[in-house]
Amino acid sequence: GTNGKGSTCAFIESALRTAGLRTGLFTSPHLVEPTERVQIGGQAVTREVFTAAFDRVHEAAERLLAAGALDMHPTYFETITAMAFLLFQEAACDRVVLEVGMGGRLDATNVVHPELCVITPVDFDHEKFLGDTIPKIAFEKAGILKPGVPAVFARQRTEAQEVLAARAAELRIAPIPAAAALWVE
């Protein structure tokens, strides 16, 4: 979605960590330091760890460019996403929560096969890239949905809900409304 992505990701990561799992959290943008984007066990990685991961990803990209396997350098976001994946793998995280950077369909985080997709409220954002109408933006956001993967949808504007529901139906997903996904005992 557009609104509440970071808060939703932080809430999910906290719940998983409280349940005893080793967690990774990737968010964007950062507020103060780029290291905030990559957290392991609820803590941002250090500058040293962040810099070392950057060096490794940058060197790998250079090798791929030299071999002709890449046409251009990865973007800033693609590089930080790759750094996060590397650090989460090395930290042996039990679960990782990824915040989509922009859109969904073409976002660098969309290379994973998730266990759950969550779409927060869709609104106008990044119209130059995602489209200038709510249905166009919702189509891009729906790009994170995968066959057989449960999805939770926050309450949406009607025109966004129609697009999300249509994509879910194409993939044979029965989305869970966010209000139905919460309970108190």
Per-residue pLDDT, 182: 56
Q: Which residues pair with 151 in a beta bridge?
A: 117
Mean pLDDT, each 10-residue run in order, the chain (185 residues): 86 97 96 96 98 98 97 96 98 98 90 95 87 94 96 94 97 84 51
Q: What is the C-alpha to C-alpha distance for residues 88 and 43, in angstroms, rounded to an integer? A: 12
Residue 164 in contact with residue 119, Cβ under 8 Å?
yes
Tokens 């997903």 map to which residue?
173
Per-residue pLDDT, 160: 96
